[in-house]
Structure 1
Amino acid sequence: MRTHTGEKPHQCSKCDKAFPKNSDLIKYMRTHSGEEPYQCSQCDKAFSNNSDLIKHMRTNTGEKPYYCSQCDKAFSLKTTLITHQRTHTLERNHTNAANVTRLSHITVIL
């Protein structure tokens, strides 16, 4: 419910940042402490949160769980997929703009 009300009762003791959930504050506090409790089992890299470790592990395993529904390309990060999907939208918009330009030109000739 705090998401909807904007209430952020969990205040960082080091700065002015505040959070709706205590778990978010705990994660954030690692930016001040430099704590990196999530260790990669394949290399010496460590991370302050588990989601960053999971993303990193995909580079080691080659796992690409995010697929483009238009061209079947696969991506390890959802953000990369979203960026890629925009290329399809831009291609369509560019094609539509080119067709409109051609139609306008044909209309002028007629």
Structure 2
Amino acid sequence: MLTHQGTRPHKCQVCHKAFTQTSHLKRHMMQHSDIKPYNCRICGRGFAYPSELKAHKSKHESGRENICVECGLDFPTLAQLKRHLTTHRGPIQYNCTEC
């Protein structure tokens, strides 16, 4: 019923995101902790959620990985990698073709 009413009484003390159920808040809190119970059998990397592990495993299976050459982080999509690269190199500068 809370979902339909838009009421979200369970708030994260770290990022202030709100949830309708305590269980959803508890699952969310794993993002803010070092607890990563779902581990990749191939590389050992840990994840807070099973869905993150599933997405990660598909990288090993497909052979396509979007890895940052600056820091080694990997991303699910090339677009996310490109956005991340701006943290190392600054925003992309576009030149005007008119001037």
TM-score range relative to shorter protein: 0.5 to 0.7
Q: CA deviation at 1:51?
A: 0.5
Aligned equivalents of 1:32, 1:56: Cα separation in 2: 19
Aligned equivalents of 2:16, 2:61: Cα separation in 1: 39
**Structure 2 residue runs without a partner (length 5+):** 63-75, 78-99
Identity %: 38
Residue type matched to 2:45 in 1?
K
Residue type matched to 1:48 in 2?
A
Q: CA deviation at 1:15?
A: 4.8
Q: CA deviation at 1:48?
A: 1.1
Q: CA deviation at 1:42?
A: 1.0
SS in 2 for 1:51: helix
Q: CA deviation at 1:7?
A: 1.1
1:38 aligns with 2:48: no
1:10 aligns with 2:13: no
Matches within 5 A, 1:41-80: 41-62=41-62
SS in 2 for 1:35: coil
Partner of 2:68: none
Q: How many residues align?
A: 65
Residue type matched to 1:25 in 2?
L
Aligned equivalents of 1:21, 1:56: Cα separation in 2: 27
Q: Considering only CA atoms, is the larger Rg found in Structure 1 or Structure 2?
A: 1
Q: Which moved more, 1:21-30 or 1:39-48?
A: 21-30
TM-score (norm 2): 0.53
Partner of 1:72: none
Q: CA deviation at 1:5?
A: 1.1
Aligned equivalents of 1:40, 1:29: Cα separation in 2: 21
Q: CA deviation at 1:44?
A: 1.7
The list of structure 1 runs, each at least 4 consecutive aligned residues, that deviate by more than 6 angstroms after superposition, is none
Q: CA deviation at 1:57?
A: 0.9
1:19-53 deviation per Cα after TM superposition (whole angstroms, max 9, x unaligned): 01222211211122222111001112111111000
